[in-house]
Structure 1
Amino acid sequence: MPPNQPSILHGPSAPVPVSLPFGDLLARHARERGSNPAVISHHQDVTLTFQKLHERSDMLASAFLASGVNKGEKVAIMLGSRTEYLEAFFACAKIGAALVLLNYAFVFEEIVSTLTPVEPKLLILSPVVGRFKFTHFMDKLSTRLASLQALVIVNPEVDTSFHLGHKMVEYTSFLARGQHNPLPKLNVSPHDIVNVQFTSGSTGIPKAAALSHYNIMNCGRYISKQIFGLIIGICTSAWSGSAVVFPSDIFNATAAVECIEKYQCTGIYGVTTMFIEEMAAANFSKTDRSSLKFGIMAGSAMPPDLLERVIKTFPVPRLYTNWGMTELSSITTMTHHTDPMHKRIYTAGRLFPGFVAKIVEPNTGRVLPWGKKGEIVISGYGVMQGGYLNNAEKTAETLKQHVEDLQDNGVGAIDSQGNLRTWLHTGDEGFLDDDGYFVITGRIKDIIIRGGENITPVEIEERLFSHPAIVQASVIGVPSPRLGEDVAAFVELRSGHAAPTDAELQDWVRQKLSRFKVPRYFWWIGGQDERVPRAWPKTASGKLRKPDLRVVAKGLLSTMISQRNAQSVVIQARL
């Protein structure tokens, strides 16, 4: 691209987005492939065909209506990967209600604070999800959440000490309410909100992103078309008519590897840390994974050699990397398996059909020249149609119309609906390379400003990843009275290696990067220092939570300063 070409990029014009309610898609699969498996839940030992899923979600939808859940209202759910989750999703879709997804790692006060403004009529949950136990506060939920008419309890027998309390009903009993009530035909629009997802919280307090049928339907469709039917989740498998496999209620590397062989899975989806843990699983070398054809690796920065290792050792012949976010209904850019390896490792791929992207100056919104780093802003079918629920201020900060688009700047001011384009300001920093691939350099909020120098954590993380003794790394900024911020790194030791010293790691980084980018502090995840977490703090989707690491770092630095001051007092006293 010429150096002065503006950073404006249009995705392919075809295929055009479809307008279809999600419930209609399941009904079509029930007619055309009703006996095919839709979901295989390994840990439940349950398989539902498309016909059975259609029938059970119809029954649950009728039960919702009988319980006073009407079009436009909310049903919250806090489960791991279970068949009931899919039933609830499609039941809400069929009656025009929205399913609100809760992170099962939330504690009581987080559940209350996130659900209070959303006002769900029902909350579907299990007393235990993986290592997370909720029995000690379930009774209090109905009193703290005024909108709740009932708590629908899935799998109550998982905890023998648990007993149904006030406003609680067991899931199968609740489902039976819809058994003899045929589901009426309801007028559900593709632009109705069907799903509320809280932002992953990897950079702060979660916000409730409201997604429509149109948003997530087309997300699943384009991912499916890009990778020829890869199973990456509910939306894509629902579009392609393939089965989704739930190895465990929350991620378990051993179970995932086992299920690839047992069910002859053809596709695999996960964030970077999941692939690392799967290849380190004890049963990895003992299983046959030759059925795998496709894979998507999402999430945080990856070691440069990880993609090649997954392709060769899993093996996954067609492995794709990507970029997206909750507010964009998932993935917006993706590499292709025919792309050169360096493109798949160092870029997030090309823009999907139906999207337009700009790279802009964060504070002014000015479109930057091609190849310059700036904030990525996106317009298109995936942009959350409902904004952030009950948060007009954050919605206005994130979703904007650019009046300058009306000038002839190559954007195309009017969208496919005939309206002035709405742009999502993603908060992600990146640039377009010479071939039109997106290179993501990190979150703007994660950029470290050390003595006036801007530092992108991802380049330091990639350098640390390349050290033979390090399996995972996360770099953050920490307060510095002299420099404003300094660089700190949390690292995890690779099994079978001795831990390098701080000085050795600093020298390793210094060999490839400027001196001002070299971390001052290193802390080992799972190491001997009990103040450092034993495991990486993660969101429910498996992404590393940098805010949690910043809190840990603040405590560690505070202790270091206190110890230093105490030593100074002792020395002065001796003098």
Structure 2
Amino acid sequence: MADNPGRLPCPIREGAERHPDAQALTFAGSAWTYRTLDVEVGRWVKSLEDRGIRAGERVALLATNHVASVCLFWALGRLGAVLAPLNARLTRAELSPMVEDIEPRLTLALGALIDRLPSAERLESFITTSTASSPQCASLAEDTPRVILFTSGTTGRPKGAVITEGNFRASCKASASNLGEHPAPRWLGTLPLFHVGGLAMLTRTAYEAGCLILHERFDADAVNRAIDSEGVSHASLVATTLERVLDARGDRRVPPTFQLALIGGGPVPVPLLERARAAGLLALQTYGLTEACSQVTTERPTDADGRTAGPPLPGMSIRIVGEDGSARGPGEEGDIEVRGPTVMAGYWRRPDATRDVLRDGWLRTKDVGVLDTRGRLTVLSRRTDLIVRGGENLYPAEIEAVLLNHPAVQEAAVVGIPDARWGEVPVAFLALRAGQPTPTAEALDAWCRQSLAGFKCPARFSWVDALPRNAMGKLERTVLRQRASADVKG
């Protein structure tokens, strides 16, 4: 793709030269060809240059999906600068330490979100209609950082995964090799651009000379309209959104222009996958993570039964290891480790965390899984304590820290329980502090929402005399999960 070996050009500029009239992006009723998008990205480059943004500097962004986010991403690439997209669902208190960690040269936010980042400038008005288009378009080395994506560890402290240009390119190549070449794919972009899945759609369409059908947020009726009338060929969903799309479709089958949907965010119920295929919608299970630039394994379109997350993508390797680090054979459970060109460069300013997770070329995911005799992966646990709610990762330690700040709470533990709509929801077990009145569930929910995004707040609060612990004083979460499940059944 690049004329200069080892250097990678901007795919929007390349598209403007090779297929200028091909559609590159649609959003909110407007459309951009590669030619017009190239000009628009150049205007963003000019504004960033005028603000002194140079190679290696960071720009923080708080936004839902928007055309300005797309232009900013490609413009920063032309300057060799780094985008740090922040989760638009987080509170001001949650965002603050991330911004401090990034130390951005510039902070931008959509007007509707700007109150959460007081130092931010308004994204929509960052460039003006009179801004000229800069021709600056640096080619990038494969190891050039492109984004810093925050992903919480089990301690709840945010870590910024540094994803490079080479990571994005390798992810695109591996996915295309698995799914099959398409002359001009039209990917439906409902995943947020502050998640690795959303950025994978953005980059993949550009590298493959396709078009991103970008939606501000997920809406089942809008998704079905796009599938039926906008020629969407590919989509990425999670189980809950797939179910909502099928509910909204009723008995209508998908048109032949729609090839397949990738389903991430955790295991998908087999009946749901079968229901999708009955409607003509081929849904492929995947396993991925931010640190590996989205997909690691995916079912093959010609060999998908919904029983596993599929084999590793071409160019990727998976192994299952025991606690002693030795490799496990087919059918033996253990920790999932990943190796390949999509694996991140490391965690931003966290050398100890980077050394802990990247060893001898292998990414230690700390997820638990098993490979079958055909090399297909089944994920058994998204880390021991992780809760996956509708595709969003929730970490108990973060929620527990908020609850423990309440004056009436002596002890707190959060576990996940199965939920028909969201996959899992968090449930909190609390021990009352002596001499304090017992808060109501409504009061505890309000307390949590002061510091946590709504999707992180517990679905239920249960009071106990004391939390169960083993002889070593370690919290027995399994006991709590069993108790929570029994309470639901009861």
Asked whether 1:39 is paired with 2:25, we answer yes
Deviation of 1:490 after TM superposition, in Å, equals 4.7
Given that residues 263 and 284 in structure 2 are in contact (C-alpha distance below 8 angstroms), is that contact kept between their aligned partners in structure 1? yes
CA distance in 2 between counterparts of 1:560 and 1:285 reads: 51
The DSSP-based 3-state class of the residue aligned with 2:84 is strand
Q: Which amino acid aligns with 2:150?
A: F
> Does the CA contact (< 8 Å) of 2:65 and 2:214 recur in 1?
yes
Q: 1:87 to 1:200 in 2, by over 3 A?
A: farther
Assess, with a 3 A threshold, how the Cα gap between structure 1 residues 185 and 300 changes in structure 2: closer, same or farther. closer
Deviations 1:333-390 (A, max 9, x none): 111121152xxx221111122223321124x3222233211111112101101x1111
Matched, 1:380 2:344: no
Residue in 1 that maps onto 2:111: 127
Instruction: Tell me which of 272, 276, 293 is aligned to 1:329.
Output: 293
Q: Which amino acid aligns with 2:377?
A: F
2:127 pairs, out of 167, 172, 175, with: 172
Residues 440 and 20 from structure 1, CA distance in 2 versus in 1: closer, same or farther, beyond 3 angstroms? farther
Which whole-Å CA distance do the structure 2 matches of 1:379 and 1:556 have between them? 42
Report whether the alignment pairs 1:272 with 2:258: no
Q: Distance in 2 between matches of 1:365 and 1:267?
A: 38
* Number of the residue aligned with 1:371: 331
Distance 1:340 1:189 in 2: 36
Match of 2:52 in 1: 68
Q: Given the alignment of the two structures, is residue 426 of structure 1 paired with residue 385 of structure 2, yes or no?
A: no
Which residue in the other structure is 2:265 paired with?
299
- Moved beyond 6 Å, runs of 4+: 200-203, 476-479, 484-488, 529-533
- Report what 1:404 is aligned to: none
Which residue matches 2:434? Answer: none
Q: Distance in 2 between matches of 1:333 and 1:225?
A: 12
Supply the RMSD in Å over aligned alpha carbons: 3.7
Superposed, 1:373-412 pairs within 5 Å as 373-385=333-345, 387-401=346-360
| Partner SS state of residue 236, structure 1 | helix
Verify the 8 A CA contact 1:59 1:176 in the aligned structure 2: no
Task: Return the offset for 1:213.
Answer: 0.4
Alpha carbons 2:86, 2:150 under 8 Å: kept: yes
Instruction: Report if the CA contact (8 A) 1:98-1:193 is conserved.
Output: yes
Give CA-to-partner distance per residue, 1:189-245, whole Å, 9 cap, x none: 221101111127798443210011001111112212322335261122112111111
Amino-acid identity (%): 21
Residue 531 of structure 1 deviates from its aligned partner by 8.5
- How many residues align structurally? 411
The 2-side partners of 1:107 and 1:487 are apart by 22
CA contact (8 A) 1:75 1:99 kept: yes
d(CA) in 2 for partners of 1:88, 1:357: 34
Amino acid at match of 1:380: G
Amino acid at match of 2:302: T
- The separation in 1 between residues aligned to 2:443 and 2:368, in whole angstroms, is 32
Whether the 8 Å contact between 1:19 and 1:214 is mirrored in structure 2 is no
**8 Å contact from structure 2 (residues 61, 83) kept in 1:** yes
Tell me, in whole angstroms, the C-alpha distance in 1 between the residues paired with 2:413 and 2:99: 35
Aligned to 2:229: 262
1:68 is displaced (CA, Å) by 0.8
How much does 1:331 deviate? 0.5
Q: 1:323, CA displacement in angstroms?
A: 0.9
The letter for the 2-side match of 1:325 is: L
Candidates 317, 326, 341, aligned match of 1:356: 317
Partner of 1:489 in structure 2?
A: 417
What is the DSSP-based 3-state SS (H/G/I as helix, E as strand, rest coil) of the residue aligned with 1:291? coil
Trace 1:60-209 onto structure 2 (pairs within 5 A): 60-128=44-112, 134-138=113-117, 141-142=118-119, 151-154=121-124, 170-173=125-128, 176-177=130-131, 179=132, 182-184=134-136, 186=138, 188-199=140-151, 204-209=156-161
**Partners in 1 of 2:250 and 2:155 — Cα distance?**
33
Q: How does 1:431-446 map to 2 (within 5 A)?
A: 431-446=370-385
Q: Which amino acid aligns with 2:417?
A: A
Q: Could you tell me how far 1:559 is from its partner in structure 2?
A: 10
Q: 1:85-121 CA distances to partner (integer Å, 9 max, x unpaired)?
A: 1111111111111111111101112221111111111
Cα distance change, pair 79–552 in 1 and its aligned pair in 2 (3 A):
same
Specify the SS of the correspondent of 1:351: coil
Aligned residue in 2 for 1:498? none
CA contact (8 A) 2:178 2:314 kept: no
TM-score, normalising length: structure 1? 0.64
Residue in 1 that maps onto 2:213: 245
Q: SS in structure 2 opposite 1:280?
A: helix
Alpha-carbon distance in structure 1 between the residues aligned to 2:115 and 2:310:
46
The change in CA–CA distance for 1:348 and 1:200 in structure 2 (over 3 A counts) is farther
Taking the TM superposition and a 5 Å limit, the aligned residue runs for 1:305-320 are 305-313=271-279, 315-316=280-281, 318-320=282-284
**Does structure 2 retain, via aligned residues, the 8 Å contact 1:56–1:87?**
yes
Q: 1:153 to 1:290 in 2, by over 3 A?
A: same
Gap regions ≥5 residues in structure 1: 1-17, 129-133, 143-149, 155-169, 402-421, 448-456, 462-473, 495-518, 522-528, 538-543, 562-575
The question of whether the paired residues in 2 share the 8 Å contact of 1:217 and 1:239 is answered with: yes
Structure 2 unaligned regions, length at least 5: 189-200, 401-411, 430-440, 468-490
CA positional deviation for 1:123:
2.0
1:557 alignment partner in structure 2: 463
- Judge conservation of contact 2:308–2:378 (CA < 8 Å) in 1: yes
The offset of 1:309, in angstroms, is 0.8
Matched residues in 2 for 1:214 and 1:57: separation?
21
Letter in 2 for 1:442: S
Determine the C-alpha separation between the residues in 2 that align with 1:486 and 1:72.
39
Alignment-mate amino acid for residue 213 of structure 1: E
**Closer, same or farther in 2 for the Cα pair 1:560/1:532, shift >3 Å?**
farther
Read off the aligned partner of 2:109 and give its amino acid letter. L
2:170 — aligned with what? 218
Following superposition, the deviation at residue 435 of structure 1 comes to: 1.1
Distance 2:142 2:106 in 1: 23
The structure-2 alpha-carbon separation of the partners of 1:85 and 1:340, relative to structure 1 and needing over 3 Å to count, comes to: closer
Query: 2 CA distance for matches of 1:210 and 1:384?
Result: 6
Amino acid at match of 1:395: T
Quote how far apart the aligned CAs of 1:264 are: 2.4
Deviations 1:534-563 (A, max 9, x none): xxx9xxxxxx97xx36x555x3335999xx
- Code of the residue aligned with 1:491 in structure 2: it is D
Flag the structure with larger Rg.
1
1:15-26 residue pairs with structure 2 within 5 A? 19-21=6-8, 23-26=9-12
Task: Output the TM-score relative to the length of structure 2.
Answer: 0.74
Distance 1:135 1:212, change over 3 A: closer
Q: Residue 484 of structure 2 corresponds to which residue in structure 1?
A: none
Is residue 70–residue 97 contact of structure 1 (8 Å, CA) maintained in 2? yes
1:239-293 CA deviation, whole Å, 9 max, x = no partner?
211111123x122222212222231212221111110122223x65579645322
Offset at residue 326 of structure 1 (A): 0.5
- Whole-Å separation in 1 of the counterparts to 2:121 and 2:114: 12
